[in-house]
Amino acid sequence: ALEKAGGPELVKQVMEEKVASGETYLTSIHHRETINLLRDGLVDAGPVWLSEALYQQKHGKTFDYVTIPAEHDVIGRYFIAHVDKTSRHPDAARKFIDFMTSESGRKIYAGYGFLSGM
């Protein structure tokens, strides 16, 4: 999103120069570290997935969030399940996939900020 919004110079400024000066923190283990940095007052703002922002709000945290405009946003795409011939429980795996691709499953997934289109 940084590069889409401001080009390689913005990426360099934020990810190199500001990291070197201590103005930017980089998470080292997991993106959820950003929430801890916000909670502990170590940062004023930080990028997180929409799903994380919604999760925190649903659990009573007082974090606000802003949506990145579509022309600058980057959408992460990944698989939630995979079944192959060596799966130990293929029937259960298929049932999980069937549920997650059902209308009910998609609504739950969307409620946490995930895109559920296939």
Whether the per-residue pLDDT at 20 is higher than 90: the answer is yes
Return all residues near 66 (Cβ < 8 A) that are at least 6 apart.
none
pLDDT at 13: 93
Question: Token pair of 31, please?
Answer: 């993106």
pLDDT at 73: 86
pLDDT at 18: 92
φ, ψ of residue 94 to 5 degrees: the values are: -65, -40
Instruction: Work out the burial of residue 66: count CB atoms within 10 Å of its CB; fewer than 13 is exposed, 13-18 middle, 19 or more buried.
Output: exposed
Q: What angle do CA 92, 93, 98 make, to 5 degrees?
A: 95
The lowest-confidence range among 4-8, 20-24, 71-75 is 71-75
Whether the per-residue pLDDT at 24 is higher than 80: the answer is yes
**Model confidence over 43-96: pLDDT tens digits?**
898 888 888 888 888 888 878 888 888 888 888 777 777 788 898 999 998 999
Q: Using an 8 Å Cβ cutoff, are 38 and 46 in contact?
A: yes
pLDDT at 29: 84
Whether the per-residue pLDDT at 118 is higher than 80: the answer is no
Instruction: Work out the burial of residue 34: count CB atoms within 10 Å of its CB; fewer than 13 is exposed, 13-18 middle, 19 or more buried.
Output: buried
